[in-house]
């Protein structure tokens, strides 16, 4: 049976209703746990957050929301794209057409900000993203997006690391390099190092997010002249997530990256967590993490995308 709601039932996500929406998220998100402050950072705190593209559905005369859809419009390599960041319908209201109606409403609202080269994707919205695609365990979401015409692309892996109880404090020196938590005097040189050294346009913005924390969650390697030669960040996506990371090309293979990773895991462990998620790992880097810290592939994500032209008839 189809349920009829009108746009009067929709509210934008605001700080006032965040608690209730977070509760809806927690009650319905089976596999993924994030703190309220991470949920806030990833929604209201996203630099591209636009209340117009956030839909919270309330049935009549009730103060409990039953569905939430948060999209952002961000610049991709060529054009601006619509990326869905959070989407769920309360369990008892599923398969009644609510998701379809909300998704189309979001498309209608976002269309002015898009053009014919734009696409609609799920998940990966750097620098602030929760997941690099649809977690395959979110089966209903996978098939829902498929029903909306989004196509599956090549899978992307996150890795899980169980932080060893025996992990001891990592080294502060390695091969003559100093390893330390970043301090404000190295903020700009680290961002420069990341921008120059790595072909990943959003990494510096991801690293910069960690500078907002009381104790910034980026660790760096410095040479004897205090030049930055490596970095590793954690908790950019949600608390206990790991990445991005990188070491100067000429110094790779010496264990500097591994030691920086251990600093991050150590820092996460000291906050009472025993697990970390290494975000969006590609190619042989998976083997590297498996070897150094016993990481394993989990969870697997499938990016899903469609050209905005798919919904021509909505225009």
Ligand X SMILES: CC(C)(COP(=O)(O)OP(=O)(O)OC[C@H]1O[C@@H](n2cnc3c(N)ncnc32)[C@H](O)[C@@H]1OP(=O)(O)O)[C@@H](O)C(=O)NCCC(=O)NCCS
Options 66, 98, 209, 295; binder of ligand X; rule CB under 6 A: 98
Taking residues 108 to 127 in sequence order and writing x for each that binds ligand X by CB under 6 A, - otherwise, the string is --------------------
Residue nearest to ligand X (CB): 99
96 binds ligand X (CB under 6 A): yes
For 308, residues 6+ apart whose C-beta sits below 8 A from its C-beta are 82, 107, 111, 114, 115, 116, 118, 119, 120
Minimal distance, residue 31 CB to ligand X, in Å: 8
Using CB under 6 A as the binding criterion, the count of chain residues that bind ligand X stands at 18
49 binds ligand X (CB under 6 A): no
106 binds ligand X (CB under 6 A): no
Handedness of CA 174, 177, 182, 183 (dihedral sign): positive
Options 53, 124, 129, 144; binder of ligand X; rule CB under 6 A: 144
Of 47-55, 86-94, 200-208, 273-281, the segment contacting ligand X by CB under 6 A is: 86-94
143 binds ligand X (CB under 6 A): yes
Minimal distance, residue 271 CB to ligand X, in Å: 24
Minimal distance, residue 83 CB to ligand X, in Å: 12
Options 12, 29, 105, 152; binder of ligand X; rule CB under 6 A: 29
Options 66, 72, 83, 88; binder of ligand X; rule CB under 6 A: 88
Nearer to ligand X, 29 or 223 (CB): 29
Nearer to ligand X, 144 or 289 (CB): 144
Instruction: Restricting to residues 215-274, name those near ligand X by CB under 6 A.
Output: none
Report d(CA 168, CA 281) in Å as an integer. Answer: 25
List 218's β-bridge partners, or say none. 233
For 65, residues 6+ apart whose C-beta sits below 8 A from its C-beta are 11, 17, 20, 21, 24, 56, 57, 58
Options 138, 156, 262, 269; binder of ligand X; rule CB under 6 A: 138
Minimal distance, residue 85 CB to ligand X, in Å: 8
Options 12, 97, 197, 258; binder of ligand X; rule CB under 6 A: 97
**Exposure b/e, 232-257, CB count within 10 A at least 16 = b:** bbbbbbbbbbbbbbbbbeebeeeebb
The tokens of 306 are what?
Answer: 């469609």
26 binds ligand X (CB under 6 A): no
Options 72, 83, 120, 141; binder of ligand X; rule CB under 6 A: 141
Minimal distance, residue 111 CB to ligand X, in Å: 20
Minimal distance, residue 28 CB to ligand X, in Å: 6
Minimal distance, residue 293 CB to ligand X, in Å: 27
Residue pointed to by tokens 């919904």: 311
Give the residues lining the site for ligand X (CB under 6 A): 29, 86-89, 94-100, 138, 140-141, 143-144, 147
């Amino acid at each position: 049976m189809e349920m009829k709601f009108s746009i009067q039932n929709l509210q934008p996500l605001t700080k006032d209703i965040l608690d209730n929406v977070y509760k809806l998220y927690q009650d319905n998100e089976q596999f993924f746990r994030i703190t309220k402050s991470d949920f806030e950072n990833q929604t209201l705190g996203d630099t591209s957050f636009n209340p117009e593209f956030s839909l919270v559905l309330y049935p009549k005369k009730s103060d409990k929301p039953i569905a939430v859809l948060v999209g952002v419009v961000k610049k991709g390599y060529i054009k601006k794209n619509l990326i869905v960041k959070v989407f769920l319908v309360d369990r008892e209201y599923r398969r009644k057409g609510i998701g379809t109606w909300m998704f189309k409403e979001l498309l209608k609202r976002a269309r002015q900000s898009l053009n014919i080269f734009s696409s609609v994707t799920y998940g990966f919205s750097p620098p602030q993203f929760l997941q690099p695609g649809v977690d395959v365990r979110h089966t209903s979401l996978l098939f829902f997006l498929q029903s909306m015409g989004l196509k599956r692309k090549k899978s992307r892996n996150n890795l899980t690391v169980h932080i060893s109880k025996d992990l001891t404090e990592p080294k502060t020196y390695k091969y003559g390099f100093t390893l330390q938590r970043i301090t404000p005097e190295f903020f700009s040189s680290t961002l420069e190092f990341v921008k120059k050294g790595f072909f990943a346009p959003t990494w510096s913005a991801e690293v910069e997010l960690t500078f907002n924390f009381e104790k910034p969650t980026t660790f760096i390697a410095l040479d004897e002249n205090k030049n930055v030669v490596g970095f590793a960040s954690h908790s950019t996506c949600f608390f206990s997530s790991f990445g991005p990371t990188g070491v100067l090309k000429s110094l790779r293979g010496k264990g500097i990256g591994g030691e920086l990773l251990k600093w991050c895991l150590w820092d996460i462990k000291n906050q009472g967590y025993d697990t970390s998620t290494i975000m969006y790992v590609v190619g042989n880097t998976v083997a590297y993490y498996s070897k150094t810290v016993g990481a394993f592939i989990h969870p697997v994500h499938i990016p899903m995308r469609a050209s905005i032209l798919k919904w021509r008839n909505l225009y």
